[in-house]
Amino acid sequence: MSESLPQPRDAARPRLSGFITTILMILISVMIVRDIFVRRWGAATPPASDVTERSR
């Protein structure tokens, strides 16, 4: 009968795995949103040197 009961170590493993997965998903989401904001509002002025310009 004691063999059918889950061990405390086995019960904690899915909880830790779920916590790590949740943290990783939040971090990835924050990085994506930050990248979108930087691309949208970060480069208001064009770069100083453009390869398509001809030198005079």
CA distance 52 to 18: 50
**Whether the predicted pLDDT of 8 surpasses 70:** no
pLDDT at 45 over 90: no
Cα distance between residue 52 and residue 31, in whole Å: 31
What does the pLDDT read at residue 4? 64
**pTM > 0.85:** no
Q: What is the dihedral of CA 36, 41, 46, 51, to 10 degrees?
A: 0
Q: For 14-44, write each residue's pLDDT tens digit.
A: 888 999 999 999 999 999 999 999 888 876 6
Q: What is the pLDDT of residue 5?
A: 60
Residue type, 1: M
Q: Extract the tokens encoding 20.
A: 């790590």
